[in-house]
Amino acid sequence: MYALIKKLAQIMAVLGGLVLTILILLVCTSVLGRSVGTLLHGAFMQTNFTVFSNWALGAGIGAINGDFELVEAGIAFSIFAFLPLCQLSGGHATVDVFTSKLSPRSNQVLQMISECLFALVLGLIAWRLFEGMEAKQRYGETTFLLQFPIWWAYAASFSGAAIAAFISLYMAIIRILEALSGRHLLAENESTER
């Protein structure tokens, strides 16, 4: 079961990375286009190279229309796409100044409690994203410039959140069983693999 869950988390992380890479390229292209567009609109280019400037501007050189709408939706998806792997590998930021002084058994119980809390919170987030997606779909809300349905972004984010909640529930069950039995069910390198 662990291998299947790990594969699912890795696939989501790769998808999140691909979307993030595309967004980086989009932002760079938009910033470059905005800079070139500003240059083409400048007095020097309009005076000395009018035909070229007007042709280039007419060809669409400039900022990408609605780039911030795409970045907003894509970043939200990327964050939720990285959560499953982060949850599975225990990659969340921790402060272990206090817990390093505790016994291994106490740390095991604390880890169980934190995994259970993560499962509850991620389940709540997934549920609220689903509710938000349904509301946006019902009211037909669209983005301002590109006019794409907002529920698409909610659906993409919900997919990552739902998988993260599922993996979090799996990890919570594993940690509960570990705390009850006093044994490690996942090998140390499986649960902390990065």
Question: What's the structural domain count of the chain?
Answer: 1
In the predicted structure, residue 1 carries a pLDDT above the cut 90: no
Strand partners of residue 149: 142
pLDDT digits (tens, 9 = 90+) for 35-93: 999 999 999 988 999 999 889 888 888 889 999 999 999 999 999 999 999 999 888 77
pLDDT digits (tens, 9 = 90+) for 129-144: 999 999 999 999 999 9
DSSP string across 131-152: HHHHHHHHHT-B-SSS--BHHH
Which residue reads 């993260």 in tokens?
164
In the predicted structure, residue 7 carries a pLDDT above the cut 90: yes
In the predicted structure, residue 126 carries a pLDDT above the cut 80: yes
In the predicted structure, residue 194 carries a pLDDT above the cut 60: no
The Cα 153–Cα 155 span in angstroms is 5
| Domain residue limits at 79 | 2-191
For residue 102, what pLDDT is reported? 83
CA 63-64-66 angle, 5° bins? 120
Q: What is the CA radius of gyration of the chain?
A: 23
Calculate mean pLDDT across residues 94-116.
84
